[in-house]
Structures are given as C-alpha cells and as structure tokens.
A and B are shown apart, each in its own frame.
Chain A
Amino acid sequence: MGHLIANKVSNLPSWDSSQLRLFTMLAEELTLPLSFVSQVNELMRVDSNARDNDNLLKEAQKQFEKYLGMSEYLECLNRAMSKQIELLPMNPLSIVDQAVQAHVHSLKESGHVLKLQGNTSALVLGHALALKGVVDLLLRTFEETATRASRLTIDVSQRLDYVNLIISDTKSILNRSMVKQMIDRSHRQSQTLAESRCSALPIVLAQELTRVMNGNLDFQRRRGQAQWIISLPISRQLALWD
C-alpha cells in the first residue's frame, strides 16, 4: 500500500524552480496585505466608528483587487509555462489601452497623468492577458515609487522586427541598480527594497510573462525619466482582422 502511494506521489507533476520561486514570493508578499485586511476587520469589530470609515474600506478593497489581479497573472504564467497558452497575432495598442483603463481611476486620484501614444499598426505575437499583465504590473511599480504626482507615458513603436512598448515616468525613484538589486534579492529571502517599498514580485512576474511571449524586458533611466522597455516580436502570421 505504502509503495502504491509512493508511486502515485512521484507521478505528480513537480514545479520547476522558477514556478516555486514565484509561488514563494507571492506567499511572502501576501502576508502584509492580508494582515492589513485582517487588522481593518479587527478595528471594525472593536470600534464602531471605523465601520463608517470609507477611506479604510477603500484601501482594503484596493489591496484585495491588487492581489486578485496578481494571482490571475500568476495563473496565466503557470499555464504558459505548462505550454497551455497559444501566442496569437494581436494589436498591442488595444491591449495596452485595456491595461491603462484599469489604472485611470487610481492614477487620477494620486494626481498622476498618463498618456498613451502609438505610431505603429504592426501586430505582435503575444497573449492578451499576459501582455495586459506586463503593462499593469509595470505601471504599478511606477505608482508605488513615484515621489509625487508624475507624468506617465506609454509609447508604442516599431523597431526592426520588434514592437517596443516604452513606459516612462518622470517622478519615479527607480533606477537600474535598484531594479537589479530587487531581482537579485528575489532569489533570496527579502524581496522588498527598503528605499522604495516596491516589491520584486511585479517586476519578476512581468519579466516572466514577457519571456513566455518571446519578448524582452529592460529598464533604463533616460533624460531624468525611469523607463520600462518591453520588446515583443512582430507577428509574421496573417491576422483575421486589421
């Protein structure tokens, strides 16, 4: 009997190291937001005034939505790593626009301005949820590291066989060495950089989602702006639309 169970266990699919790393990062990163929601609940139990505190309820909702989105992208990545998603030709501008719409409200509340501009009709070979996730996660890194109200732009343009999506922020404190440190630290225990409180998880997740679309993610500071550069290969397939 024991032998049979051992056989069944060994037949279970095992996670590779990058899946395990992301799972561990998510578990670690969820601790504080879950603690926040639990403490909001505790406060509402002991102090009836807190129940009418709209600000607190809004913050709890924001935390919940942020991590719900993150788990959706993680699930998408997991399917991609298991070769369960298919890359299709798609218009990057329309996907980026969907990601931007999800941020419009929170950006406006924080006084940020976001402009989307594109001068290409080239299609990329990608996955809609993965691409939306990359843009969403990277916009989040800027929202979390902007020192004050900033001007964000997303520029979509073609460069040789790639479409480049450049997300720029005028007020983010992120720099190349901070990004490198965060990614390096994500291999160890502490994934949050004390200077920014931005965690490595959105960056590593965006990096992996870009990779499954055969693209590349880079970071640079240029003319005082922090920039994420997502390069995705142009689709050579004929699309049924456009």
Chain B
Amino acid sequence: MDHQFADIQAACTMGLAKILLVESEESWASLVCAALSECQIDVASDADEAMGKLGKPGDYAAMIINLQLPKNNGIEILNERVSHVDLLAIPAIVYSSERGYSKVSDEAWQAYHVSAYIDQNELVKRLSQAVSEVLNASNHD
C-alpha cells in the first residue's frame, strides 16, 4: 500500500470519510470505489439522486462528481451547490473525459468551489491524493 492510500485510510478510520460519488456508469463507479476502498462511498447515478442524497449534507465529508451525467450534467449539481451554503461546506472533486474541461482555469473551478479537477484518464493516479488532501484540509478546519 503506498503513501496516498495510507493517508486516506488514516482519514477514513476517523469515521468521517463518507463520500458521495455521482457516476452513472457502473464500471467507473466500481473503479472509484476500489481506488478509495478505505472510504465509505455512496453512489448516486444522476444529478437528481445526488441532490436527494445531499438532503442531509452533514453526512458527507466530500463529493466526487463525473461532469458527464445522464439527464442533468454535473455542472448543474455544482450550480445547485453554489446556491446552498450547507452544500458548499462539502468539498467537491470533479472529473471528466471531455477534453474541453481540461482547459478550464483554476480560477473558474474556484468560482464553482471545486477543490480539484481530474482528467478521467488519470483517475487512479490522482484521485486518492486529491481525496486525502481535501479530507486533511477539512480535518484541519
């Protein structure tokens, strides 16, 4: 087990790291769950289901959102989140395979209160580090 996994394990065993994953494809949801196997992950398959689960925002330590979703896309969840102060307290990590998103500036992501953007092709490489960073930052707040 490498350093990043150990970090996540430490954060998760504190009993705080319940994460909401918004992903419509079973295959990618399985990959994220396996990559963050030490965390408790709740999967929502679309924006509506995600917003339903976020009814009790205190439940989640972070949320991970695929920006390409059926019906409403992930940006709509981010928009909805910006208008709810409770939800803004939950750090958001977003990912996508759409090349256009990789050109979005850090400032633009910050305007949506997004902690990290990850190219979907680098999910395994970068997700665990991004999650451990947001969990550690939340623990220090």
Interface on chain A toward B: helix, strand, loop, or mixed SS?
A: helix
Sorted from nearest, which 7 A-B pairs have the closest CB atoms?
A59-B27, A39-B124, A35-B121, A55-B30, A43-B124, A50-B34, A42-B124
Q: Which residue of chain A is the closest to B66 with respect to CB atoms?
A: A197
Do residues A147 and B27 form an inter-chain contact, with CB atoms below 8 A? no
Contacting residues, chain A, for B24 (C-beta < 8 A): 197
- Whether a CB of chain B sits under 8 angstroms from the CB of A238 is no
Contacting residues, chain B, for A35 (C-beta < 8 A): 97, 120-121
Cα–Cα, bound, A46→B1 (Å): 7
How many chain B residues touch A (Cβ–Cβ < 8 Å)?
26
Q: Give residues in A with beta carbon < 8 Å to B.
A: 31-32, 35-36, 39-40, 42-43, 46-50, 53, 55-56, 59-60, 62-63, 145, 147, 173, 190, 192, 194-197
Q: Which residue of chain B is the closest to A145 with respect to CB atoms?
A: B70
Cα–Cα, bound, A35→B121 (Å): 6
Do residues B120 and A59 form an inter-chain contact, with CB atoms below 8 A? no
CB distance from A229 to the nearest CB of B (A): 24
Cα–Cα, bound, A190→B98 (Å): 9
CB distance from A52 to the nearest CB of B (A): 10
Q: Give residues in B with beta carbon < 8 Å to A.
A: 1-2, 5, 24-28, 30-31, 34-35, 37, 46, 68-71, 73, 97-98, 120-121, 123-125
Do residues B37 and A196 form an inter-chain contact, with CB atoms below 8 A? no
CB < 8 Å neighbour of B31 from A36, A192, A194, A197: A36
CB distance from B16 to the nearest CB of A (A): 21
Cα–Cα, bound, A43→B27 (Å): 14
With A31-B97, A49-B37 given, is the CB distance from A40 to B31 under 8 Å?
yes
Cα–Cα, bound, A42→B4 (Å): 14
CB < 8 Å neighbour of B68 from A43, A48, A173, A194: A194
Do residues A195 and B71 form an inter-chain contact, with CB atoms below 8 A? yes
CB distance from A3 to the nearest CB of B (A): 41
Do residues A63 and B27 form an inter-chain contact, with CB atoms below 8 A? yes
Do residues B70 and A59 form an inter-chain contact, with CB atoms below 8 A? no
Contacting residues, chain B, for A36 (C-beta < 8 A): 27-28, 31
CB distance from B120 to the nearest CB of A (A): 7
Since A46-B1, A55-B34 are in contact, a sample of 7 more A-B pairs with Cβ atoms closer than 8 Å, ordered by chain A residue number, is A39-B121, A40-B31, A43-B35, A46-B5, A47-B1, A53-B34, A194-B73
